[in-house]
Amino acid sequence: MHSRRFAASPARPPVHATGYCLGRTLLAIGAAARARDPRPGSADLKTITLFAAQTDFREPGELGLFVDSRELANLDALMWEQGFLDGAQTAAAFQLVRSRDLIWSRLVHEYLLGKRTEPTDLMAWNADTTRLPYRMHSENLTHLYLQNDLAEGRYCVHGRPVALSDLRLPVFVVGTERDHVSPWRSVYKLNVLTDTEISFLLTSGGHNAGIVSEPGHADRRYRFGTRRENDPYVSPDEWFAATPVRDGSWWPCWQQWLATHSGDMVAPGLGAGAVLGDAPGTYVLEP
Q: Which three-class secondary structure state does DSSP give residue 167? A: coil
The closest of 264, 235, 262, 237 to 170, measured between CA atoms, is 262
The per-residue b/e assignment along 186-217, b for 16 or more CB within 10 angstroms, e otherwise, is bbbbbbebbbbbbbbbbbbbbbbebbebeeee
Other CB atoms within a 10 A radius of the CB of residue 257 amount to: 19
Q: What are phi and psi of 39, to 5 degrees?
A: -115, 100
Residue positions annotated with a catalytic role: 21
| Residue type (1 letter), 238 | E
| Residue type (1 letter), 252 | P
Other CB atoms within a 10 A radius of the CB of residue 229 amount to: 11
